[in-house]
Each structure stands twice: as C-alpha cells, then as structure tokens.
Amino acid sequence: MMNEHQFRNLNLLTIRYPFTAIISLLHRLSGIFLFLLIPFLLWMLDSATGTTDGFERVQTLLTNLPAKLILWLFLVALWYHLIAGIRHLLMDIGIGESLKSARLSGGITVVITLLAGILLGSWLW
C-alpha cells in the first residue's frame, strides 16, 4: 500500500529529463511548429506564384528581419525534424537502441542542427 502523504512532484518544469527525452520532445515540438507555419507558407507560395505584385510583396516581406527570423526558424525546425525523424526511424528498426548509442545519436542530431542553423543563417543574411 502506498503512503498517502508521500510527496509527488507533478510540476513538469522542475523535473530533470534525460537528454534523450529532451531530443524526443524537441522533435515533437518542431513538428507542431512546422504544422502551425503551413498556412503562412502556403500564403507566401500562392502570393509569389500568383501575380508579379504578389511576388514583389513576398520579396519585400522577406527583406525585413522578423520575417527572415521566422523563415530561419522554420528551416532550422524543418532540418531538426528531418534529422530527428531519421534517428527515430533507425531506432524503430533496431539501430541505436542502447542508451549509449541513443545519447550519441541525440548529440549528433543537435550538432548537425546547429551547423545547419549556422549555414542557413549565413545563406539568408
């Protein structure tokens, strides 16, 4: 029988998560972020391919810093989601399931994403 007065920490912000759990959570969050940006990207695609005025509007939009930052965040999230998704698929078929290799592949995922973020940032700016 469980002690009824036992302390339980249910505050998710104070729990220390393992590195692999953080990588998995970020994969899910990047997917949500990508999904939420779909309407904005579809609007940009529709405007840019519709008329020359629409193309110029999108081109002007992408010259200001907030739009470039959102585009950069989208591209980094897309890259992270792709790399972490490949990592999860490899684990699904039995490659890299041990704790040591899961930590290693998580670190590789983060390093590749950081390098991609730097390269994408230098390409956009």
Question: 95: domain CATH number?
Answer: 1.20.1300.10
What is the total count of domains within the chain?
Answer: 1
Structural domain boundaries enclosing 28: 19-124
Residue 51 has pLDDT above 70, yes or no: yes
What predicted TM-score, i.e. pTM, was given to this entire model? Answer: 0.83
Look at the block and give the residue holding tokens 């949500």.
32
Question: 88: annotated binding-site residue?
Answer: no
- 79: in domain: yes
Mean pLDDT of the chain: 92
pLDDT of residue 3: 64
| Structural domain includes residue 85 | yes
Given CA atoms 21, 34, 108, 91 in this order, what sign does their dihedral have? Answer: positive
Query: From the centroid of its chain, how far is CA 87?
Result: 14
pLDDT in tens, 88-115: 999 999 999 999 999 999 999 999 999 9
Residue 14 resides in a domain: no
Q: Is the pLDDT assigned to residue 6 strictly greater than 80?
A: no
* Res 2: pLDDT: 60
Report if residue 6 sits inside a domain.
no
Q: Is residue 9 part of a domain?
A: no
> Residue 14 has what pLDDT?
80
Asked if the structure places residue 70 within a domain, the reply is yes
Among the residue ranges 2-6, 42-46, 104-108, 120-124, the one predicted with the least confidence is: 2-6
Kindly state whether residue 62 falls inside one of the protein's structural domains: yes
